[in-house]
Amino acid sequence: LIVGADECAEYLQSREWEGAATDGARLVLVIDDAEELAEQLDAPEFLKVLRRRSPGLWVILAAETDNARSWHEGFKAIRKHRHGLLLHPDVNADGDILAARLPRYSAVQDNVGRGYLVRGEALDLVQVAR
């Protein structure tokens, strides 16, 4: 567990995670407030691993909608996978982040923690715990 923007940036730059992502082991990188690490996510070494889609590497980013749409290569590489959770999305605009077509209307009321789980072409309405 690594906490803090500087510590996370140092970990990503050290490339310690890369071995786990390529030798058959499983590694999950969970990055909250990913916009604070945009430069590290744009690093050529990190982009190469993201684009290679190593089966043992899962990268989970949490970012505000505007940041997820940014021009940063790291965000673009993650979006290209078309897997994500759009919580409380603007159905008119936020589907484009993952190239998903969100329904204009839902039979259930919008609520905190409700959103759409996007897995490629599949789209499911979900509720996550508060």
pLDDT value, residue 20: 62
Of 86, 72, 67, the closest CA to residue 126 belongs to 86
**Mean pLDDT in order along the chain per 10 residues (130 residues):** 75 71 71 81 78 74 79 80 85 87 84 87 87
| DSSP assignment string, 66-91 | HHHTSS-HHHHHHHHT-EEEEES--T
What pTM was computed for the model?
0.71
Buried b (16+ CB within 10 A) or exposed e, 34-71: bbbbbebbbbeebeebbeeebeebebebebeeebbbbe
Whether 33 contacts 63, CB under 8 Å = yes
